[in-house]
Chain A
Amino acid sequence: MRKFIWLLALCGLTAKTIDVNAIEGSTPQGKFTVSGVVTDAVTGEEMIGATVYVVETGAGTITNAYGFYSLTLPQGNYNVTAKFLGYSPTTKKVTLDHNIKLNFSLEQETTEIAQVDVTGEKLNRNLEHPDMGMEKLQISTIKSIPALFGETDVIKSIQFLPGVGTSGEGFIGYNVRGGGTGQNMMLLDEATVYNAAHMFGIFSVFNNDALKDVKFYKGGMPAEYGGRLSSLLDVRMKEGSPQKFGVNGGIGLLSSRLTVDGPILKDRCSFIVSGRRSYMDIFFPLYRDQIPEDTKLYFYDMNAKVNFKINDNNRVFASGYFGRDVMNYAGVMQIDYGNRTLTTRYNHLFSDRLFANLSAIYSHFMYGLEQNDTRWESSIRDWNAKADLTFFANPQNTLKGGGQFTYHKFTPFTVKTGSNSPTYMKPQENHNYSYEWAAYLSHEAKIGGLIDVDYGVRFSALQNTGDDMELVFDKDYNVIDSITHDGGIYNTYCGMEPRLSVNWRLTDQSSLKVNYQKTYQYVHLASTTMSPLPIDSWFASNSNVKPERCRMVSLGYFQNFKQDMYALSVETYYKKMYDVVDFKEHADVMVSSSEEMAKQIRTGQGYSYGFELMLKKQEGKFTGWLSYTYSRTFTKVETINNGEYYPSNYDKPHDLSVVATYDVLPRLHLSLNWVYSTGAPRTLPTGRFEYNGIIAPVYAERNALRLPDFHRLDFSATFDFKTIQRKGKPWLEQNLNLSIYNVYNRHNAASIMFERDEHNPSVMTAEKLYMFGIFPAVTYNFKF
């Protein structure tokens, strides 16, 4: 509470810097607004995060998620410049004696397929903004990193960043600053993606060709975002070019993809459709001795988006994603799962300085298991409405506010039986409903040219509703009673989430940042696996499971060298987590209802701390980064490990990544990455005993031992074919990518298992399971 009062006091102090007239919407005397959008000159796509600044004063801003900017300045003549890395800066002269619309259209610096950019924004943005812990990844960067099966991926690129750990080799699960995989929010055009896995986690649902912008927050989460403790991955889809049609795609070893975009009404309405399909089942006949006939394994997905610019002040968007994975074993058993999202948005400019966005979002994830003419199904459905307002008061002050409402419907378990189903399978259905609310207010202020502050508060709440039955436990988790609810709201949690980020420019080339954030998480993931699987269970807080809460404070020093060619960041953090969920010992993880889940779940607390270092080379033939993380993370749950703290499943103290790309020739680019981390903790036996002829393990402490250290080198070479011209203009761009995963074929242990000797039953031996040896792949990419 004291912290909140302090935050309000800060609001009061800094509010003095905001022009009261400006808030009311009228132009302050002698001041006028220049506003507009920044677009890509070739595609016409709005550019997110482009810098727009006044050359004479240095005052500036960045474009928002819709490419919009607004600057309110005293009357006068100015040169206004728009910049974005990889694009030529554009400067326009304005005489500001009335409010002006000023749009920028930036030309790419090269017409070849874009190569490695560590960041897509102004090179010294890291020094100018207080958003510590945020990384913005260029799609071209993601595509350049060597990847397993040649399938480059957003999430796998994130895993190379400091503070981000891989939960399992080759899989998309990730841990951020000591948080679990279920504590990461993933948004695709604002829609929650509960499970981003294709092929059980080898691929993610994010199709690079359909993506425009990827922002990743491991700290410093803005007040407009919430719902998860540890991180936010905010992925925005392309809108499609409003000026010309384009086709691009790729043919890979395991999947191929195709994207088409273009105008529906030139400069006003555009679309993009992008699809992928895997075809690894065509290789099955080669493994006929292991894989029966009629076995299928594939995924497909489609992204689509359309936007319509009604006029300069009004615009609507609709975007969607649909994906399915199917695994059918010999026609006998089938597992299928997938996501569906639909986002509709309406942008409105109330004035040159007041930007509004309304969104209605639907998100659905399901998995099904079919066998013996019986189908089990589990699903999550979210209906979400959002309103966001941004007020660009002046170059020194931006205010944001808004609200969000989500209706969650969790269906942990349904059973549907066919006529051939065994009679003992009784049809069952179980649903849980909840409302999640949030409202936020934040203020970005520039104080005296050297200090930037972004602070705000988010109020969030969860309410359980509908028909339900809750169990009542005693202190030993024995069920002593049950409560039946017949509709209506029967349980409410709420909390304040203050956020504060401060950036202090020490010199032109260095800055110091501090961040504090509190986050609440009302829906929880219970998982026993290293990487999220479709069968993992999500459930909402209820009377027995409180919301997870986290407080994190972080401090960072940022230094650029040689005209921003090199950027060094050093960050340290401490994080305390409350009511984090874990399975009890010997849990039954396949449960059919929230009350059954309540029996299996235990909650406790955790803490983590760490030191992160990142050195980037941002320009030149040789680009890339080196990142090192030292971190520890511990958990304490009353009924586990005798109630003592134990290392969390993802506690890997040392983590080192090197990502490098070298342009050997203008059309030949080489990339490599090398990763090293301390082995993951495991609970392994230290002793044994015999019972009824079998050898049973005796464990010491939870996660007391570790797997061997992990390291791996990957390499790729990309050759750009000469661009084919038609009528003097580029017509077809092509490249060929060769990648080698795990170049020196290290067999990194994913788990340790123990086997009994066939000939001497008293002898036990240890075996490691490794997932991937060396694996080469070739991908052909094209773009019309």
Chain B
Amino acid sequence: MKHSILTIGILSVIFGTACTEKIDIELNEGENNRLVVEGYFSSDTMQHSVRLTRSTSYFYNQPAPAELGAIVTISDGEGNLFVLTDDDNDGIYLTDSSAFGVPGRTYTLHIKLKNGDEYEAKDEMLPTKHLDTARYEYVDEIYGVKMEEHFYEIYTTFEERPGVPDSYLILYYFDDSCYNATFENEILYARDGASVDGGGIFDDVLTIMIEEDSIPKNPTVRLDLYTISEPYCDFLIELGSETINNNSIMQGPPANMSTNIINKSGGVNGLGYFSARSRSTFTFKIDNRED
């Protein structure tokens, strides 16, 4: 059961009583050695990657061990097969650079490990969305209250299928540097009508509020909008709630994340996710701000 961050916040601020301190805790870690898949296949023509690692005990405290020597393929059910190879022997398996996916098809990832175990994952690549326009506002006060931090609020309009519940992953690049590539800032995933921290999708408008000091001055902004499957969106939401938004009162009790990595040899399923997604992009510039 997680504690209310609201209550903790109030107590720490008001009374200065709530504090944290390091603790040694026995987690009954036991054996943790499941296959972990982080795989992406998109509509872009590029080298697509599938990273294979192993789960570890919680306090393993080293980079995740790579799964080497696996045979990895992606197929689209239309007779196309993409073979992925781990040329650098680091557990990252890549297609060749001419590979691309076609929206509307379901892609199947197949993995055969050195020990003979086989895993499979399927995901549907949904159609891309056309991004129309973008505008931004500089925000330094809210209802007359000057804020210490200043923000850019960016609004982007895009083509939306009325009445169809779509899910998205949104990545923002400022001068080619991805703002949320590692999910350390925010994972901007959303469903129609849903809000997320600092932004959301409402009808056909996508919004995000970004702190001015966290991005370059007068940047060129590129917005990548990935249409993703609903189960993958669920996975991202779960990943966010178990890691970045941990201890929020907005979430339920902790639980394992869903996965589409199915063990076809009858053993325990893998962890992580293989996602097929389509991308649309829009670029604009944030001009000099008059102080």
Contacts and interface: CB of A to CB of B under 8 A. Distances in A.
B237 interface: yes
Interface stretch (B105-113, B123-131, B218-226, B243-251): B243-251
Contact of A535 (B17, B54, B242, B249): B249
Contacts of B81: none
A769 B271 contact: no
B166 interface: no
Contacts of B28: 686, 700, 704-705
B13 A766 contact: no
Contacts of A533: 4, 6-7, 249
Contact of B55 (A201, A584, A688): A688
Given A528-B2, A750-B3, A692 B59 contact: no
B145 interface: yes
Interface stretch (B29-37, B68-76, B278-286): B29-37
B184 interface: yes
Contacts of B115: none
Interface in B121-166: 142-143, 145
Contacts of A698: 32, 34, 55, 58, 256, 271
A79 B170 CA distance: 86
Given A587-B252, A689-B53, A287 B13 contact: yes
Contacts of B8: 750, 769, 771
Interface in B1-19: 1-4, 6-8, 10-11, 13-14, 16-19
Nearest to B244: A694
The interface centre, meaning the residue of B1, B11, B184 with most chain A CB atoms within 10 A of its CB, is B1
Nearest to A747: B21
Interface in A264-319: 280, 283-284, 287, 290-291, 294, 297
A770 B18 contact: yes
Interface stretch (A82-90, A107-115, A255-263, A327-335): A327-335
Given A649-B1, A689-B34, A692-B38, A586 B17 contact: no
Contacts of A588: 250, 252
A719 interface: no
Interface string A699-713: 110111100100000
A665 interface: no
B56 interface: yes
Given A687-B32, A695-B243, A767-B23, A529 B249 contact: yes
B252 A584 contact: yes
The interface centre, meaning the residue of B6, B14, B53 with most chain A CB atoms within 10 A of its CB, is B14
A529 B8 CA distance: 11
A590 to B, nearest CB: 5
A697 to B, nearest CB: 6
Contact of A696 (B60, B239, B247): B239
Contacts of A763: 61
A708 B25 CA distance: 9
A771 B16 CA distance: 9
A764 interface: yes
Contacts of A708: 23
B183 A693 contact: yes
A446 to B, nearest CB: 46
Given A586-B255, A696-B243, A290 B142 contact: no
B7 A766 contact: no
Contact of A424 (B2, B27, B184, B202): B202
Interface in A748-784: 749-754, 760, 762-773, 775
Contact of B252 (A373, A585, A770, A775): A585
B243 to A, nearest CB: 5
Nearest to B237: A586
A499 to B, nearest CB: 32
A771 B255 contact: no
B2 A751 contact: yes
The interface centre, meaning the residue of A280, A283, A327, A694 with most chain B CB atoms within 10 A of its CB, is A694
B19 A770 contact: yes
B23 A752 contact: yes
Interface in B261-288: 271-273
Interface residues of A, number: 85
A563 interface: no
A57 B279 CA distance: 91
A600 to B, nearest CB: 8
Given A297-B10, A528-B253, A533-B7, A766 B143 contact: no
Contacts of A770: 18-21
Contacts of A649: 1, 253
B24 interface: yes
B210 interface: no
A693 B184 CA distance: 8
B31 to A, nearest CB: 9
A474 interface: no
Nearest to A254: B15
Contacts of B59: 764
A337 B198 CA distance: 25
B254 interface: yes
Contacts of A96: none
Given A687-B58, A688-B56, A528 B38 contact: no
Contacts of B181: 693
A769 B38 contact: no
B13 A290 contact: yes
Given A533-B7, A587-B252, A689-B36, A769 B257 contact: no
Given A420-B143, A529-B249, A699-B254, A764 B38 contact: no
A700 B27 CA distance: 10
Contacts of A680: 1
B23 A697 contact: no
A528 B251 contact: yes
A377 B143 CA distance: 21
A291 B205 CA distance: 34
Nearest to B62: A762
A699 B63 contact: no
B238 interface: yes
B247 A753 contact: yes
B252 A528 contact: yes
A767 B253 contact: no
B30 A686 contact: yes
A247 B201 CA distance: 58
Interface in A198-232: 199-201
A41 interface: no
Contacts of B6: 200, 533
Contacts of A684: 25, 27, 254
B17 A773 contact: yes
A694 B184 contact: yes
Contact of B241 (A531, A586, A685): A586
Interface string A581-601: 011111111100000000010
A420 B253 CA distance: 36
Given A687-B56, A688-B60, A700-B28, A586 B142 contact: no
14 contacts: A294-B145, A372-B142, A584-B252, A686-B58, A696-B243, A698-B32, A698-B271, A700-B30, A702-B255, A754-B58, A769-B3, A770-B21, A771-B18, A775-B17
Interface of B: 1-4, 6-8, 10-11, 13-14, 16-25, 27-30, 32, 34, 36, 38, 53-64, 142-143, 145, 181-184, 202-203, 205, 207, 234, 237-239, 241-244, 246-247, 249-258, 271-273
* In the A-B complex, the 3 residue pairs with the closest CB atoms: A687-B32, A587-B252, A585-B255
